[in-house]
Structure 1
Amino acid sequence: YVTRYSGVLDGFRILERILDVVDRPLSDHLISYDLKPEVYAFPIISTLNSCVPPISESSCLWDICLAFGVYWGILFTVARLIECSAKLRESSRSRAPLVTRELELGLGIPYQRVIISAFDIMNQLFRNQNKQLIHDLIKHPVEPLQSGTLFP
């Protein structure tokens, strides 16, 4: 049992950093609405994607997490966001571009595309030599980052 969701909170920071590297326009767009991962990604990150139906697809994502590391849950979330990036950026100023429930439902993206996109994201991080970001991503489940706490 982990108190204060430290791994989840670190995951949010890492998600923001990855999104900033791989899709700066989407990152800027979400920031312009003051949308932080704590708001839109809490259920999906804290449950390791298990809130995304159907469970048969979630279990395929878990296979990747068990094989390569639970940090892939962060990559799967970024992959979903990037796969629907154009749709999210089309939103008008009167409506926020993302509702948590939409992300919980997987944004209508098949798990196969999520996996392919997540591997592409990881390859992009390696190509750009984002060594500290990759280290933080891989180690955050076992080595807490120096981040603020969401819950006292």
Structure 2
Amino acid sequence: MAADAARVHPFSKILNQPRISSKFRTQLDVDEGVKKLRRLILVEGIPSEDDSTLRPRIWKLLLRVNDLNADVFLRYVARGPCPVRDKIRNDTFRTLATDRGFKERVREDMLVRLLDAFVWRSQDRQETQQCLGFTYVQGMNVLAAPFLYTLPSELEAFHCFSTFIEICCPLYVQPTLEGVHRGLKLLDRCLKIVDPELFNYLRSKNLSAELYAFPSVLTLCACTPPLDQVLKLWDFLLAFGVHLNVLCVIAQLLLMREDVMGSPSPMRLLRTFPPLDALPIIGIAVTLVRDLPEDLYEELVRHPYEIQE
């Protein structure tokens, strides 16, 4: 018995504390639990191989998703195809198409159903509340994919995805992709500071982030396999903020810096980034934060959600 207790992972200890696991937990309890989870995610990463329930429970806690209202989800599903179903179907069949594990776990109809429901929800919220509106836009299918893969039910995936979009990165999924384009401009500005030589070399080849980093910023790196590394990177982004994805893309550039600087045609290398390796990318991204001026970092933090005047 003592040996079993000794093997309980620190994540499980935090999640199973009565003040965290109870439905009567206070905001202070949740905040304290989230702080501890963030530290562990940064230092150790979520050991999802040891306990497949850890990542879903942690993602829900990080997103503060408590109310899993099944009636709401089923009501939206019952409405059937949303007004932009054709746009959704144009994208869903190719979502993470090369990942066999994803295709085995997440069927296209699940993805379509979630996105339909999200559009219906957004229409209802616009009619009853003064809030930013949403419809289906390019890239949203890829942003939904990790939630359907990770969460144990469509219901949980729907509520987590909806919260994530509405709170964490609403400007990334506006029709103009405003947040994405701001993120790309910020990527250029950050790269110019942390590695001016690499920045100048890319600019000498007429390469801006808009040309080589659009998919990675649009999808928060979910477009770059393998999926297990995407999930590790998303653990970090959900814990500390999706704005850090911009620095994660820069980290990938730095990891391939020698090849890029030595190539007369770097776009050939940058067209498809190397397979994702979350741990070194996160390590580099964290160190880059210290190299940025405070005002630039504040702008980076706000760009996924704060509308510019």
- Into which bin does the TM-score normalised by the smaller protein fall? 0.7 to 0.9
Matches of 2:279 and 2:295 in 1, distance apart? Answer: 28
Aligned residues: percent identity? 31
Q: Helix, strand or coil: the match of 2:286?
A: helix
2:266 counterpart residue number: 96
Match of 2:233 in 1: 61
Among 1, 16, 38, the residue aligned to 2:188: 16
Partner of 1:124: helix, strand, or coil?
coil
Is 1:135 matched with 2:298?
yes
After TM superposition, list the pairs within 5 Å mapping 1:49-88 onto structure 2: 49-88=221-260
Q: Deviations over 1:44-63 (max 9, x none)?
A: 11001100101110011111
Greater RCO structure (CA 8 Å; 6+ sep): 1
2:212/2:267 contact within 8 Å kept: no
> 1:106-145 maps to which residues of 2 (within 5 A)?
107-108=274-275, 110-125=277-292, 130-145=293-308
Contact 1:71–1:138 under 8 Å retained in 2: yes
**CA deviation digits over 1:97-131, x for unaligned, max 9?**
5544322xxx2462111011111111222xxxx02
Aligned length: 137
2-side partners of 1:67 and 1:98: how far apart? 33
Task: State the alpha-carbon separation in 2 of the partners of residues 83 and 145 from structure 1.
Answer: 33
Partners of 2:207 and 2:185 in 1: CA distance: 13
TM-score normalised by L of structure 1:
0.83
Q: What residue in structure 1 maps to residue 220 of structure 2?
A: 48
Larger Rg: 2
Conserved? CA contact 1:136–1:145, under 8 Å: no
Please identify runs of 4+ aligned residues in structure 1 that moved more than 3 A: 96-101
TM value normalised by structure 2: 0.42
